[in-house]
Amino acid sequence: MELEAMNSREDWPDETEEAKTESPPKTCCDKIHETISNWILPTNQRDTYLERANCLPPPIFIISVSIAELAVFIYYAVWMPQKQWITLDTGVWNSPFIYRPDKREEAWRFISYMMVHAGVQHIIGNLALQLLLGIPLELVHKGHRIGLVYLAGVIGGSLASSVFDSGLALVGASGGVYALIGGYFMNVLVNFKDMIPLFGIFRILVIITIVGTDVGFALYRRYISHETGQKVSFVAHFAGGLAGMSIGYTVFSCFDKNLIKDPRFWICIAAYAAFVIFAVLFNIFLSPAP
């Protein structure tokens, strides 16, 4: 009997070895990355992300852009003689940042308009969206990819506005924000089967609600509202969203691959470049704007 007991004990697993193979407890940073991966990535990509997840570099691009936009808004709302908290007026209209059709030869305005916003509601909406979505996206895809998508939306937004709404000025970072939303939306849509169905439906409904509300408010302000101040274009919303649904989707769908080797990326870049060239030529030779 004793011999049988000893033999049975030899078959028992070594408790010290079990202790060695136990995974270390999850840190707060690990839990954050796990939550982010659930929101941003489909199931088949989460393990790859979690194996290499870290907070270095931090989401510098989206935070820096947000701070700069907030600083410019505070400058025009607090320190300028024409303090403008609510709407676009003389001070912002004369800003070197705003895109104006009569100043379109100053090429930097096609990008710098993202720094200026038409009131406190405008800046709060854009900052909230780009921080809530942009920080998780940048932690996964890193700043150079987020910057590419964001700026593609900003430039595409101003060029589209100069072509399709050529008589109006343009302010705000909506082009860049909608590029992030468009890229994220396409990834949720394409990878819907790899996500928890109800969770995927919830995300799509949230995106549609936010975009519908924001675009509805922009259309109201453009065509219905009789508030004083200058009217601004809303075309950048749509153009930024299209940039995100093409370039953004390609960038966000291959976070663990070399983007340069993805033929989809070059197809999107070629289409985007063709639009940019057309818009530039339109502004030089065909634009009815002064």
Whole-number Å distance between alpha carbons of 178 and 122: 14
Collapsed DSSP state (helix, strand, coil) of residue 99: strand
Give yes or no for a cis peptide into 57 (omega within 30° of 0). yes
Of 268, 30, 250, 290, nearest in space to 141 by CA: 250
Side chain identity at residue 270, one-letter code: A
Give the pLDDT score at 94. Answer: 84
Cβ atoms of 142 and 58 closer than 8 Å: no
Give the pLDDT score at 166. Answer: 87
Give the pLDDT score at 62. Answer: 96
Side chain identity at residue 3, one-letter code: L
The residue extents of the domains of the chain are 56-286
Residue identified by tokens 């990834």 is 187
Give the pLDDT score at 23. Answer: 55
Find the helix or strand (DSSP H, E) in which 91 lies.
Answer: helix 90-93
Collapsed DSSP state (helix, strand, coil) of residue 25: coil
Give the pLDDT score at 1. Answer: 45
Distances (CA, A) of 92 to 12, 61, 86, 243: 77, 25, 12, 27
Give the pLDDT score at 6. Answer: 43
Give the pLDDT score at 37. Answer: 82
Residues assigned a catalytic role? 174, 237
The phi and psi torsions of 49 (rounded to 5 degrees) equal -65, -45
Sign of dihedral through CA atoms 128, 133, 136, 140? Answer: negative
Number of Cβ within 10 Å of residue 63's Cβ equals 16
E-assigned strand segments in 43-97 = none
Cβ atoms of 244 and 175 closer than 8 Å: no
Side chain identity at residue 85, one-letter code: W
Give the pLDDT score at 265. Answer: 92
Cβ atoms of 73 and 88 closer than 8 Å: no
Of 154, 236, 145, 234, nearest in space to 187 by CA: 145
Side chain identity at residue 240, one-letter code: G
Sign of dihedral through CA atoms 102, 104, 110, 112? Answer: negative
Whole-number Å distance between alpha carbons of 278 and 269: 14
pLDDT string in tens for the chain (290-residue length): 444 444 444 454 444 444 444 556 667 777 888 888 888 888 888 888 888 777 777 889 999 999 999 999 988 888 776 566 666 666 778 889 999 999 989 999 999 999 998 888 889 989 999 999 999 999 998 899 999 999 999 999 999 999 998 888 899 999 999 999 999 998 888 877 776 655 667 777 888 888 888 777 777 766 676 655 566 677 888 999 999 999 999 999 887 788 888 899 999 999 999 999 999 999 999 888 77
Sign of dihedral through CA atoms 112, 162, 181, 146? Answer: negative
Number of Cβ within 10 Å of residue 273's Cβ equals 10
Does domain 56-286 fall into CATH 1.20.1540.10? yes
Q: Would you say the pTM of this structure is higher than 0.95?
A: no
